[in-house]
Amino acid sequence: MTDLSVQREGMPVIDRSRLIFWGVAILTAVLVISPLAPIIVQAFLDRPLYMSDAGLTLDNFARLFREAGMLGIFLNTLYFAVLTMAVAQVFGAVMAVIIGRTNLPGRQWIGEIFVWPLFVSNLVIAFGWFTMYGPSGFITLAVRSWIGVEPWNLYSLTGMGVVAGLSQAPLAYLMCLGAVTKADAQLESAARSVGAGPFRALWSVTVPMMRPALIYSAVLNFVIGIEMLAIPLLFGGPSGIQTVTTFLYDQGINAAVRPEYGIVGAAAIILLMLVAFLVWLQGFLMKGSGRFVTVRGKASRPSVLDLGRWRWALFALVFAFVFLTIIAIFAGIFLRSAVTFLTPLVPFWKLLTTANFEMIFSSANYVRSIVNSVVIALVGGLIGTAFVALIALVARRSEFRFARPLEYLALFPRALPGIIAGLGFFYAVVWVPGLDLIRGTIWILMLAFILRYIPIGFGAIAPALSQVGDELDKGARIAGADWLTTVSRIVLPILKPALFSCFALLFIHFFKEYVTAAFLFQPGSEIIGTTMLQLVAQGDNGPVSALATIQVIITAVFVFLARRLLGARIYG
């Protein structure tokens, strides 16, 4: 028997494991390259890439920078991303220390509430902020009636950045929480033994140990700020403030005569290069993180900081923050969906109505968007989980000579903003013959979503796979089993909890995704996010709230079932 074939009845039979290795590698490469190639080509063409007389040019980049206000758009994007990152890191890190290392009353359920924004799209969060803190928002009107002025302005670049930062603070919180709860208690004890008080020991020892988590989450939140669409679109659009993503969205979809494909391609390449550099920078900065490792073979549990008489004062402060930035946002969405209009001047129970939900469920388009979202999340999550599991097994558990390049290729979509993934697939279906078969269907959305979130799924499976000793594989191979038999009968059953977690994560991300679908959906393939975008543009706030409420409820039910029935780890 050779690695490549065996002889059976005089005919060579190719090793099925090798077929799987190459099949997974080729499919991954095609999936990753599909949205990139047409964007790169389009950036250097003087006409839409589907036109046969299109010629090469560099003028798209020159026209991009000659575009009126383009420098301001890039500066807006930079300022918005920096402010998003700063606000997210400050509030996320502080909450991680308070929840993870103090005896704050109710810290467990406060921590659960604090991560709610991660389960829904930024579009839902943005609309919640608009409902409560917009110019005609419930809280805004209440405060204005008390003090006579409006103390904030969400329709400004700073207001947008604060909203985005608060919506991303839970991400920084989760990453920092692991660092503060796993710190070596002996280090703090050593600081206390030389006279440091509990707060000084926490500040001098534990907080510096958060540096890798802070660096990782800071770069990640900066990238999210650069590629975010919902908040700049909802709050920046009416006030004429543009970022790169809203520019791409407007030029790619809302251009008056026809989209400026060349300029859009050039801008997309610049955005892609910037995000790819930031992802590389993230990895580079994390190279020295090993010196911050404090969890060794000997178990230790960090002590909880006793807040003493300040416990309830801090609880009141933390609860007020969580209430105003999270609970009120979701409450505003729910309330707005059930009233004709929302105002503090009239008791909401006098305005109750079911008209918004009746409008949603009486429209075939709106119902179809809900059904499509569930089908894409369910079927796409299952397909994505199977595909990511194969990638992880080939990359981490095989003799495939290109295993390492395959892993790098699978993780590359971390540097692929959702708007570019959607734009790239849109170009691909109009450029590549045969792809018209899936154009405007939910299948193209599934493909785009799977590509977008391969790194998320890989991150759920790879750590669990690394904990499975390779002696199990070796024993099976010695007994005569090939690679496929070994991983299907031995490795995969052990990975069931990780596979469930991968599916749960993909379901949640697929269900809340909307940016990637903005360029790809057509009548018949609408999803909740794209329908909400259309309703927001029309100013139909009631139906938007109803759809957002439905999305939140379905997500909450799924998270509950995934954690209780499947034992899936959604976070932490």
pLDDT given for residue 340 in this prediction: 86
Q: How confident is the model at residue 505 (pLDDT cuts 50, 70, 90)?
A: very high
Residue of 516, 373, 519 lying closest to 442 (CA atoms): 373
What's the predicted TM-score (pTM) here? 0.86
For 257, the token pair is 């005569």
Residue with tokens 């929840």: 99
Q: How confident is the model at residue 4 (pLDDT cuts 50, 70, 90)?
A: very low
Identify the three-state secondary structure at position 161. Answer: helix
Residues 419-447 have a mean pLDDT of 85
**Residues 215 and 140: beta-carbon distance below 8 Å:** no
Q: What CATH topology corresponds to 72-287+307-353?
A: MetI-like fold (1.10.3720)
Residue type at 142 in one-letter notation: A
Indicate the range of 82-91, 299-308, 315-324 predicted with least confidence: 299-308
Question: What are 247-263's pLDDT values in tens digits?
Answer: 888 877 655 446 677 88
Distance CA 308, CA 543 (A): 48
DSSP 45: B
pLDDT given for residue 536 in this prediction: 85
Distance CA 410, CA 405 (A): 9
* Measured CA angle at 571 (ends 133, 416), to 5 deg: 75
Distance CA 305, CA 102 (A): 4
Domains 13-40+354-572 and 72-287+307-353 share a fold: yes
Per-residue exposure over 283-307, b if at least 16 CB sit within 10 Å of its own CB, e if not: eeeeeeeeeeebeeeeebebeebeb
Residue with tokens 């409006």: 150
Question: What are 170-207's pLDDT values in tens digits?
Answer: 999 988 887 777 655 555 555 555 455 555 555 666 66
Distance CA 103, CA 315 (A): 10
pLDDT given for residue 319 in this prediction: 95
What share of the chain has pLDDT > 70, as a percent? Answer: 85
Residues 398-422 have a mean pLDDT of 87
3-class SS letters over 219-266: HHHHHHHHHCCHHHHHHHCCCCCCCHHHHHHHHHHCCCCCCCHHHHHH
Question: What are 328-342's pLDDT values in tens digits?
Answer: 999 999 999 998 878
Residue of 343, 293, 436, 378 lying closest to 138 (CA atoms): 343
Residues 444-454 have a mean pLDDT of 93
pLDDT given for residue 349 in this prediction: 81
Q: How confident is the model at residue 387 (pLDDT cuts 50, 70, 90)?
A: very high
For 38, the token pair is 């047409």
Residue of 322, 359, 353 lying closest to 335 (CA atoms): 353
Question: What are 6-64's pLDDT values in tens digits?
Answer: 444 444 445 788 888 999 999 999 999 988 888 888 888 888 777 777 788 888 888 88
**pLDDT at residue 88 tops 70:** yes
pLDDT given for residue 62 in this prediction: 87
**pLDDT at residue 297 tops 60:** no
Q: What are phi and psi of 74, to 5 degrees?
A: -65, -40
Indicate the range of 237-241, 441-445, 525-529 predicted with least confidence: 237-241
**Residues 225 and 82: beta-carbon distance below 8 Å:** yes
pLDDT given for residue 303 in this prediction: 67
pLDDT given for residue 304 in this prediction: 73
Helix, strand, coil shares of the chain, percent, nearest 5, are 70, 0, 25
pLDDT given for residue 169 in this prediction: 94
Residue 363 CB contacts under 8 Å (≥ 6 apart), including other chains? none
Q: How confident is the model at residue 213 (pLDDT cuts 50, 70, 90)?
A: confident
**Residues 111 and 176: beta-carbon distance below 8 Å:** no
Supply the CATH classification number for the domain 13-40+354-572: 1.10.3720.10
DSSP 489: I
Locate the domains of the chain by residue range: 13-40+354-572, 72-287+307-353
502 membership: H or E segment, kind and range: helix 496-512
Residue type at 226 in one-letter notation: I
pLDDT given for residue 473 in this prediction: 67
For 318, the token pair is 């933390």
Question: What are 98-150's pLDDT values in tens digits?
Answer: 898 788 899 889 999 999 999 999 999 999 999 999 888 899 988 988 888 88
Higher pLDDT, 251 or 94: 94
For 124, the token pair is 């839902």
Q: How far from 316 is each of 99, 226, 320, CA to CA, in Å?
A: 14, 34, 6
For 229, the token pair is 């669409």
Distance CA 470, CA 448 (A): 34
Identify the three-state secondary structure at position 339. Answer: strand
Question: What are 546-562's pLDDT values in tens digits?
Answer: 999 999 999 999 998 88
Q: What is the mean pLDDT of the chain?
A: 83
Taking each helix axis from N to C end, the angle separating 364-396 and 528-538, rounded to the nearest 10 degrees, works out to 140
Q: How confident is the model at residue 426 (pLDDT cuts 50, 70, 90)?
A: confident
